Each structure stands twice: as structure tokens, then as C-alpha cells.
Structure 1
């Protein structure tokens, strides 16, 4: 495969993507671990059926559809002070389903939150991200005395596997702007 990391159709150790963040970000959207298409493309929410980018553009009043150019989509998120990352730095998984994740390793959130003190709110893109964060991240944050003032909320997954309508997701994702 050209253009990105090959993801074989067998259980393998996968490496996540680096965070998309700058010092002005106040909101962090956390997924669990990128799916096969996202890892191959090395793009957050790289599956064209994933609703994330369309939701973000709609929430922030863009008149156009999300750009086809990934870097422009990232700039759009950052312009609206939205950072992107995943709970997991790596895991073993065949395919894209969160239910198939094994041997998870969390990202270094204490260092991340210390490096980006403007972050105030964390939104989990689906329940799996929230569960993984509570299990693998919160104990470490508490032990290091980091992140106690962050407000967290779980939103419906933007994944095409989550079969509620775009309009229903949009209604629940409006909290990003409040």
C-alpha cells in the first residue's frame, strides 16, 4: 500500500496518530483509536462515511462542505480551538472495531495537559473512548494531580458503525460550542 501505514487484515500492533493541537485550543475531542482507513491515510476520521468533519463544519457555521484537503480540515479545527487526539497510543486489533482492541496503551495525558493548559473540556467521540479514558487515563491523572478541573462529556460516536442519523448526532454534538 502507498501513502500510509499498511494495516494487514490480522491482529497486529497499531500505532495511533499524533495530536492535532495548539496552545489556543480549549476543547479536546478524543476518539479511542483510529480505524483502518484513518491509519492507512494517516488522517483523523479518514473514513469518508464518518460524520466527524461534516459535524464540525456544520457546528461552526461553515458554508461549505468539509475540505477535501486534510490539512485544511485540521486548520479549520484549530481555528475553532478544537484539538484532536485518541485515548490510545497503540493497541492490538484486527479491523476497526473498538470491541476488538487488545493490549491497549494510553497516550501520555499528564504531559499533554501540562503542555496545553488552555484545554478546559474533553469530549469523547463515543462510549468506547470514554471507557478507555476512565480505565487507562484517569488513574494516572489522579496519581499525578493533573486534569482535575477538566470537564468531560461523552457524545455519540461519529463512526459509520453508530447508526443514528446525522441530524440526531448534530443535536447532541452542539454542546461542543457551549
Structure 2
């Protein structure tokens, strides 16, 4: 089984919200792009939260819009063995240094976990972070998590836009 690795973080000094996935899936690894699987709802959910049609943009433009809206991306898992794309198949994982990244972002207000696997592993690592950084569990954007209607996911993901825009928090 091949060892699969996450991508570098997408952040800058203005990042207010950091969204953490678990580990890129097969299509994302193939394309070298976060959330590249066409059935993954990530770009739709974040786009709804910030009022931008991210799906209509090229990948690099999507990342630029996220940074303009003070949103960063990374993964909890640095590398792991995994057959396929399911989080349940992740084995022998090594985590990214989330605490160091969080401490390097002076405007960070929230860390949002995209799905259960990232929340469990991420919260364990970030337990020592306190104060002004809110930890938020979001329903997974993955096509494997279809139990929740998209309207409810959009509603739950709206918090990203509010915090990134510094509204109500």
C-alpha cells in the first residue's frame, strides 16, 4: 500500500479561518489540488459561505479568492497508508504540526474541521490551544457523506463566511 501525503498549507498573514481536511483523496492527489473530486461539495459549501461561485473558477483563482476572504486550507494528516479515498481506510498516519501553523497566523480566529476524521485527529492535537481560537466541527463535504441534505450542510458551513468576514464573532 502506497504512502500518501498532504499538500502544503494555503495560508497568509490575513488568515482568520483555517479549514482542515483529513488527507487528500485519490482524485485530489492525481490533480495536486485540494478537493478535486467533482462530487466533493467543498467548493460549493465555501462559495455559499462567502458569496462567491468558486466552482466557476480555475483552481489557482479559487485559492486566491479564499485567501482574499481570509480563509486558509490544510490537512490534519501529513501522510498515511491508505487504499482508495475513504478516511476509514487511513492507516499508520502521521499528523501535520497544526499547533505551529496556528501560532504562526496572527489573525486566526477559528479552525474548522471538514468531517469527523479531521475533527477527531485535529482536536486531539490542538487541545493545548486556547483563548481566541474557536474549534468548529463541520459536516464533511465528501461525496461519501451524503446522509445530510445539502441545504443543511450549506447552513452549517455559513459560519465560515461570518468568521472570515469578522461578522458576529
| TM, length-normalised to structure 2 | 0.89
- Aligned partner of 2:130 in structure 1 is 148
**Aligned partner of residue 168 in structure 1, secondary structure:** helix
**Cα separation, 2, equivalents of 1:118 and 1:48:** 32
C-alpha change, 1:94 and 1:120, in structure 2 (3 Å) is: same
Number of residue equivalences: 160
Q: Which has the higher contact order (CA 8 A, sep 6+)?
A: 2
Give the deviation of 1:59 after TM superposition: 1.7
Name which of 155, 160, 163 aligns with 1:176. 160
Report whether the alignment pairs 1:102 with 2:74.
no
**Cα separation, 2, equivalents of 1:106 and 1:130:** 12
**Aligned partner of residue 99 in structure 2, secondary structure:** helix
**Cα separation, 1, equivalents of 2:102 and 2:44:** 27
Name which of 61, 79, 82 aligns with 1:72. 61
Give the deviation of 1:110 after TM superposition: 2.8
Conserved? CA contact 2:6–2:23, under 8 Å: yes
Give the deviation of 1:167 after TM superposition: 1.3
Conserved? CA contact 2:18–2:74, under 8 Å: yes
- Which stretches in structure 1 are left out of the alignment for 5+ residues? 1-10
- Aligned partner of 2:101 in structure 1 is 112
Give the deviation of 1:166 after TM superposition: 1.9
**Cα separation, 2, equivalents of 1:73 and 1:96:** 23
1:9-158 aligned within 5 A: 11-62=1-52, 64=53, 66-135=55-124, 137-138=125-126, 142=128, 147-149=129-131, 150-158=133-141
